Structure 1
Amino acid sequence: MITLVEPSEQLRDSWRESRDEFRDSHIHGYSIFGFTEEELATDDGFDRWLAQQRRNLTDPPEGYVPSALYWIVDDEEPARVLGSLNLRFALNDFLREQGGHIGYGVRASARRRGVATAALMASLDKARERGMDRVLVTCETTNLASARTIERCGGVLEDVRGDKRRYWITL
């Protein structure tokens, strides 16, 4: 069963491996803003990043909203990070247009197995626990797999703005 877990030192190396599978493509849902790849490759840099993720729950950097970062794992192999998901508790102007409440990414070797759908469904439970009644989830217009994932989870297309499809999911 796919579950969402809090980032931890114990899964650091697996998280780095999952991140590396994105190669040169943009990494969605990994919440690495403000940190370079070189910093994240060091234990000290990772520790600072992890501390920032914990602060993001209530005290995010200026311009960002409170959020929770989760790593996606499978109960059958809990030491392997399959991806990452960021649940934002509010929207600012940028998120309202582009990013939405939820961003996620699944490592290449774990795709096409329902991981993204299960992770997005699990995040909806987390959003309900936070008292949210609906969430905005976006994806690039060219990412048909993500569009199908969002639709399977109850997403209703509101519109397309630029290169983003914007879906609302009622909780």
Structure 2
Amino acid sequence: MCPVTDLAVPDPRLLESWAACVRDFDEGPMDGSGDWHLPAGWRDDLSERGCRVVVDDLLPHADATRPLPDDRVPCDYYWVTDGDPAGEPAVVVGFLALRHRLNAFLLEEGGHIGYSIRPARRQEGHASRALSLAVRRAADLGLDRVLVTCDETNEPSRRTIESNGGRYEDSRKGKRRYWIDTGA
């Protein structure tokens, strides 16, 4: 059977593959992971306790009724997984954030959807499939279209966005900005 890319709600039961995924990024950026608002030094604790801290921090952001500080917006965080439909356990291969709306910063640079795939699992199609799944979930949230951005120099991400129907609008502050219709 072919592996299947999916979006999983962060779950400590995926501890081992989550920790391996985080280690693979080393100190590099992990777009879509929510790492920017996690406690300082969180990457130093990839134990079950550390994973639970991350999960407990990420999950409440999806609650649109919860007040959020600092001009933050409700956001569904997912772990991009690769699993086998025949029953092999899913493994975490990346991260994805689906923001329910845009604030000024997200309109300029971040967009509705941010994602990253661990270096060892790139060029396997996970980014494209994860973005496609996120666009469908954005439609379920009632979003008619989503903004997705990438660095000007990130050719693989540019291709991923365009292959998912991204229409280039412009570049701002070193970011290419694309709109994708969700079909909602």
TM-score (norm 2): 0.87
Q: CA RMSD in A?
A: 1.6
Distance (Å, rounded) in 2 between the aligned partners of 1:26 and 1:19: 10
Render the CA deviation track for 1:96-150: whole Å, top value 9, x for unaligned: 0010000000011111111100000011111111111000000000000000000
Among 154, 176, 179, the alignment partner of 1:165 is 176
* Number of aligned residue pairs: 171
Give the deviation of 1:36 after TM superposition: 4.3
Q: Is the 8 A contact 2:80 2:96 kept in 1?
A: yes
Distance 1:131-1:87 versus aligned 2 partners, 3 A rule: same
Secondary structure at the counterpart of residue 7 of structure 1: coil
Distance (Å, rounded) in 1 between the aligned partners of 2:116 and 2:149: 12
Q: Which residue of 1 aligns with 2:10?
A: 7
Q: Is the 8 A contact 2:110 2:149 kept in 1?
A: yes
Q: What is the aligned-residue identity percentage?
A: 39
For residues 28-107 of structure 1, the aligned pairs below 5 Å read 28-36=31-39, 38-40=41-43, 41=45, 42-58=47-63, 59=66, 60-76=68-84, 77-107=88-118
Give the deviation of 1:163 after TM superposition: 0.7
- Moved beyond 6 Å, runs of 4+: none
Q: Is the 8 A contact 2:38 2:57 kept in 1?
A: no
1:71 counterpart letter in structure 2: W
Comparing 136-145 with 59-68, greater Cα deviation is found at 59-68
Distance (Å, rounded) in 1 between the aligned partners of 2:71 and 2:23: 27
Secondary structure at the counterpart of residue 146 of structure 2: strand
Distance (Å, rounded) in 1 between the aligned partners of 2:53 and 2:39: 12
Comparing 146-155 with 35-44, greater Cα deviation is found at 35-44
Give the deviation of 1:33 after TM superposition: 2.1
For residues 120-159 of structure 1, the aligned pairs below 5 Å read 120-159=131-170
Unaligned runs of 5+ in 2: none
Unaligned runs of 5+ in 1: none
